[in-house]
Amino acid sequence: MPELPEVETTRRGIAPHVEGREITEVIVRQPRLRVPVPDDLVDRLIGARIGTLDRRAKYLLVPLEGEKGSLLWHLGMSGSLRVARVGELPKKHDHVDLVLDDGAVLRYHDPRRFGFVDWLAGDVEHDPRLARLGPEPLSEAFDGARLFELSRRRRMAVKPFLMDNAVVVGVGNIYAAEALFLAGIDPRRAAGRISRERYDRLAAAVREVLAAAITQGGTTLRDFVSGTGEPGYFAQRLNVYGRDGEPCRRCGAELRLVTLGQRASVFCGECQT
């Protein structure tokens, strides 16, 4: 599933090509996505000009200038947004096109159709899908103090705690595993039994891992490509995720695999305590 770095990479990749452009045509080839494409979406969009793109957690926000509303795009399990050109033939799973006034096409591709594009009127933060989200991990609102405060008396393991979107958004399975490795914290440890000092290190590790992934263009997943059609390359730098049974890059011990919160988690029993 595309996680926060993949969505941020997409936003940065497509923004220069779509911001300020007028939508001249909307083509919906498959309206039956996870959330059906709104019936009035075409009428709302044609003639509108795209504002400054934003991102909230794993949602991409596409505001329209002069309109009290935005497109809310979620890439689901296998979706991607890329910039094509008028005349470029769509692929089998290219479901939605926004044709722009300079001949560019913002094209949504989603083989599994678990993503969606929806219309949000008014303040996007009031939408129930966004209203209860925690802070962005790269913002000043996220730090070790927040993790420490929210974790008190929590018996759940620290890894699923870190992946809770009410605690902090966008720290999915890959990046939680990598951040816990950098911070030297065993993912099985109870969240409520970790010190403030260790949470400070974990918050710093989350920021470091996510910033590096964004710089590298996201993690290479089977279906993910950036807004310019390029795959991510952060997977080349993964320390633990997907490497169970391999030697730890730091100490050489064999990496171990456990299941936490129904998700596979790889860690080093020597470096993470």
Annotated binding residues for DNA, as ranges?
93, 112, 154
Answer yes or no: 128 catalytic: no
Query: How large is the C-alpha radius of gyration of the chain?
Result: 20
**8 Å CB contact between 166 and 134:** yes
Residue 14 token pair: 């497509």
Answer yes or no: 263 catalytic: yes
The H-assigned helical ranges of the chain are 4-18, 41-45, 128-131, 144-151, 158-162, 173-183, 196-215
Gap between the Cα atoms of 11 and 28, Å rounded: 21
Buried b (16+ CB within 10 A) or exposed e, 8-40: bbbbbbbbebbeebebeebebeeeebeeebbee
Answer yes or no: 159 catalytic: no
In sequence order, what are the beta bridge partners of 120? 70
Answer yes or no: 65 catalytic: no
Residue 150, Cβ neighbours under 10 Å: how many?
17
Provide φ and ψ at 14, rounded to 5°: -90, -20
Helix and strand totals (H; E) in the chain: 7, 10
Q: Which of 11, 21, 58, 107 is catalytic?
A: 58
**8 Å CB contact between 186 and 159:** no
**8 Å CB contact between 146 and 124:** no
> Considering only CA atoms, which of 2, 18, 24, 8 is closest in space to residue 109?
2
Catalytic residues: 2-3, 58, 263
